[in-house]
Structures are given as C-alpha cells and as structure tokens.
Amino acid sequence: MSSVPTETAHKVLAEALGRLVLVKLRQGKTLRGKLKSFDMHLNIVLDDAEEEMEDGSWRRLGTVLIRGENVVMLSPIQ
Amino acid sequence: MSSVPTETAHKVLAEALGRLVLVKLRQGKTLRGKLKSFDMHLNIVLDDAEEEMEDGSWRRLGTVLIRGENVVMLSPIQ
Amino acid sequence: MSSVPTETAHKVLAEALGRLVLVKLRQGKTLRGKLKSFDMHLNIVLDDAEEEMEDGSWRRLGTVLIRGENVVMLSPIQ
Amino acid sequence: MSSVPTETAHKVLAEALGRLVLVKLRQGKTLRGKLKSFDMHLNIVLDDAEEEMEDGSWRRLGTVLIRGENVVMLSPIQ
Amino acid sequence: MSSVPTETAHKVLAEALGRLVLVKLRQGKTLRGKLKSFDMHLNIVLDDAEEEMEDGSWRRLGTVLIRGENVVMLSPIQ
Amino acid sequence: MSSVPTETAHKVLAEALGRLVLVKLRQGKTLRGKLKSFDMHLNIVLDDAEEEMEDGSWRRLGTVLIRGENVVMLSPIQ
Amino acid sequence: MSSVPTETAHKVLAEALGRLVLVKLRQGKTLRGKLKSFDMHLNIVLDDAEEEMEDGSWRRLGTVLIRGENVVMLSPIQ
C-alpha cells in the first residue's frame, strides 16, 4: 500500500493555480473562480469569482479573498 | 502552471486600501465601506461603512472595526 | 495606493475611549455604552452600557465586561 | 483623548469579587451569583448562583464553576 | 475588596472529587455523577454518571469521560 | 477529600482498549465500537463501529477514525 | 488489557491510501472517494470523489481537497 504515491494538498493547489476551482464554505455558500493564490492556512484569492444563488444561478463577485478558516473543501473544475 | 503569478492575499488587501470593499461575515451580515486598514488576522477598519438590511437597503454605520475571525470573504467593489 | 494612510484598529479604539460605541456580538446581541477600556484581544469594558431589546428599546446594564472572542464589530457613535 | 483613564477588565473583575454579578453565556443562558474567583481566561466561580429560567424566575444552583470560553459578558449588579 | 479570599476553580474541583456534581455541556446536555478526576482543560471523568432525558428522567451511563471543551459549567450537588 | 484516588482520563481510555465504548459526537451522532486506539487529543479509532440511526437501530461502519475535536464524551459499555 | 495492540490513527490512514473511504464532515455532508493523501491535521485529498445528495444519490466532484478541521470521521470502505 505504501507504493501508492501521496499527492499532497499543496500539489493539488499548486496545479490548480490559474484554473477554475469550486470552493465550499462553512456557511453553506459555494463559490467558483480562477485560483489566483493560496497559502498554508488555505486563505485563497479567486479571480472572476461567482457565488451560487439559491435558485442555482451564479452572481458575479470579481476578485475575492476568502479566509481559510471558512473553507470546507476545494475542488478543481475539470 | 508554475508560471502563473501568485497574487497574495496581502496584495489584494493593499491594493484595496482607500477603495470600496464588500465584506461578508460569518453571521450572514454583509457590509461595504472604504478599506482604511487591515492586519494579518484580517481585522479590518472600514470608513463610511454601511450594513445591508434584510430588505436590500443599506444602513449607515460610519467607521467600523471588524474582528478578523468573523470575516468570511472580502471583495473589492469595481 | 500605498500613499493612503493606514488607520489601525488600535487607533480607532484609542480614539473611541470615553466615547459612545456600538458593539455587535456573535449571538446577535447589540450593546452600546461608553468605551472604558480594551485590550489586544478586543476584550472591552463599557460603562453605562445598554442592551438592545427585540422591540428596539434599550435596557440598562451598567458596567459590562465583554469577552473579545464574542465581538463581531465595534463602531464609534458619532 | 489619551487623558481618559483606562479601566482594565481585570480591575472590573477584581472590584466585583464578593459582589453580585450577572453572567451571560454563549448558549443564551443567564446566571447571577456572588463572584468568588476568576482567572485570565475568564473561568469564574460563582457562589449562591442562580440560573434564569424561561419564565423569568431564577433556579438555585449553589457554587458554580463556569468555563471562560462560554462567557459572553459579565456585569456587576449595582 | 481585595480582602475577599479568591477561591480558585481548582479548589472547587479538588473539593468536589468523590462527590456528586452536575455538569452542563455545550450541546444542551446535562449530566450528573461522582467526580473521579479532572485536569486543567476541564476534561473530567464521572463515575455512576447519568444523563438527563427530555422528560426529566435520568438514564444511567456508568463511567464517562467528558472532553473539557464541551463543558459549560460544573456545580457540586449539595 | 485529597484521599480520594484520582482516576485519570488516560487510565479510563487505557482500560477501555479492546473493549466496547459508546462515543457521543458534537453533531448529535452516537457511535459504538471496539476501542482500538486513542491519543492525547482524543482522536480515536473504533473497530466494528456502528452508528445509531434516528429510529434507534445501528448501522455498521467497520473501522472508523474519529477526530478528537468532535468527541463530546466517551463511555465504556459494561 | 495493555496487551491489546494500539492501532494508531496514522496506520488506519496509511493503509487506506489508494482505497475508497467514507468521510463525514461537520456540516452534515458525506463524501466518498479514493484517499490520495492526508496530513497530521487530517487535511485530505480524495480522488474520484462523490458527494451524497439528500435523495441518497451521489454527485461526482472529481479531485477534492478537504480541510481537516471539518472532518468528523473517516472510514475505509471494505
């Protein structure tokens, strides 16, 4: 089992730089945007960010700085 | 992918100084105001701040000090 | 942009000493009172403090010590 | 403004020792009792403590040790 | 006022060892049992512990280890 | 009172190794299983774990790793 | 009782690398996916991750980075 390569969280984030990611926050919000930066606390900056509305549509937010503590999960959009 | 420049959270904040920002708090509150200062914990001071009411209107608060721990996200208003 | 003077959270608090401030807490409570002291954790002491009731009236509390962790935001009342 | 004397949280607590205080907790509970001790984390011991019931009456608890993390605010009863 | 003896939280706990205590937890649960041990984080072990049910009855749990972080308050039962 | 022997939390856990324990989590979940390991943060591994359903039945989970921060209390099943 | 071997949390995780795991989060979400990596804070990366919907179906998410703080429990799917 130890032969399975360990893909670190950092690698997932580094590879997602400049790409579209989906971010779920603690308060139930979902955002998507282009990942501009991140740090070890998962503070992230998204560019061209949008926030999912209750009716399923997306509202434009522009550049957004998200405090890492509120991030539940992040997923690159393929 | 490593050629994508990493825009740090600090840079986003530094560039937003003196400009209008939208701040979303954990408790579901949304504020906007002119960013006067910030620190590494995301404690921020807004000038000419307003708080969004439930009917979508904005109530004037003046100068407001926000404890960073309550900040979910911050976005410069373009 | 770096020419915009950074007004620190500390300065806002120091200037509010002895003046009336509005304090919003995590639990949805709103208090107002004369700012008597504060520390770096935003533990604050209000004098002649009042708590906002659900009907919009204010109930007198006297001197109140508030644990900083519960403070969402603080605003000098002009 | 710097001539306004800063009354520290510690002083408020030290002066309240042996006196009746009102304590509001995060969970919405309100207690009152004689302040027997406190520490820097706001862990407090109340003597002859009572807990406010939903109908506005008070139930006797005796000596109570309260974990500071749950304290929202504390106010000496005049 | 400084002549009022400060009874520390530790002393309250030490004196309650082997005696019946009431423990209120963050989630609204109430337990009672014989205090077998405690540490500085308020992690506690109760023996012959019981949990209060919604109908006011008590359900037997036996020995229970409670994580201090969940303790709101602890009171010796006289 | 100091003659009452202090049974530490660690001793309760060490004696429960290999035995059935009941674990209550912050989110209201209740699990039971054979205690395989624990650490000082109360991160625990249960074997043959089951989760209590709302109808009072138990659903099999197998081996489960529980993050200590979510543990409210743990009780050996006698 | 001390002869019972202690299976550490780390061992459970290391053995689950490359295998399917079930992850329950604080917000009530349940995910499953192939465990690609983990660290000591239980930050984990799942590959081919899916999120359980309210109707019991599973929605594809792809690669997901989960912040450890939100993990309640993790269980290898046998």
pLDDT tens, chain G, 78 aa long:
333 344 578 888 999 999 999 999 998 899 999 999 998 788 999 999 999 998 999 999 999 999 999 999 999 997
Query: What percentage of chain A carries pLDDT values higher than 90?
Result: 71
Question: What is the predicted pLDDT for the residue at D32?
Answer: 97
Contacts of G44 in chain A (CB under 8 A): 9
Q: What is the pLDDT along chain B (78 residues), one digit of tens a residue?
A: 333 344 578 888 999 999 999 999 998 899 999 999 998 788 999 999 999 998 999 999 999 999 999 999 999 997
Question: What is the predicted pLDDT for the residue at E30?
Answer: 95
pLDDT per residue over C25-43, tens digit each? 998 899 999 999 998 788 9
Assess if residue F70 is contained within a domain. yes
Single-letter amino acid code for the residue at D7: E
Q: Reduce the secondary structure of chain F to three states and give it as a string.
A: CCCCCCCCHHHHHHHHCCCEEEEEECCCCEEEEEEEEECCCCCEEEEEEEEECCCCCEEEEEEEEECHHHEEEEEECC
Contacts of C43 in chain D (CB under 8 A): 9
| C-beta atoms of F75 and E49 within 8 A | yes
Nearest Cβ partner for B7 among A15, A26, A37: A37
Assess if residue B1 is contained within a domain. no
Q: What CATH number did the domain enclosing F29 receive?
A: 2.30.30.100
Assess if residue F27 is contained within a domain. yes
Mean pLDDT, residues F16-44: 93
Assess if residue F15 is contained within a domain. yes
Assess if residue G1 is contained within a domain. no
Assess if residue B27 is contained within a domain. yes
- Interface residues of G toward A, Cβ cutoff 8 Å, are 14-15, 17-19, 25-27, 29, 31, 36-37, 39, 43-45, 47, 49, 61-67, 69-70
As to burial, measured by CB atoms within 10 angstroms (0-12 exposed, 13-18 middle, 19+ buried), residue D75 is buried
Q: Domain count for chain B, please give it.
A: 1
Complex ipTM, two decimals?
Answer: 0.84
| C-beta atoms of F62 and G78 within 8 A | yes
Q: Which chains touch G (3 or more CB pairs under 8 A)?
A: A, F
The Cα B60–Cα G11 span in angstroms is 56
The Cα D1–Cα D4 span in angstroms is 6
Cβ contact B4:B65 at 8 Å: no
| C-beta atoms of C75 and B15 within 8 A | no
Mean pLDDT, residues A22-34: 94
Does residue D29 carry a pLDDT above 80? yes
Assess if residue E53 is contained within a domain. yes
E46 CB-near residues (< 8 Å, 6+ apart): E21, E23, E31, E32, E33, E34, E35, E36, E63, E64, E66
What dihedral angle (degrees, nearest 10) is formed by the CA atoms of G42, G15, G31, B27?
A: -10
Assess if residue E63 is contained within a domain. yes
Nearest-Cα residue of chain E relative to residue F15: E63
State which residues form the domain around F55.
9-76
Contacts of G76 in chain F (CB under 8 A): 62-63
Query: What percentage of chain B carries pLDDT values higher than 90?
Result: 72
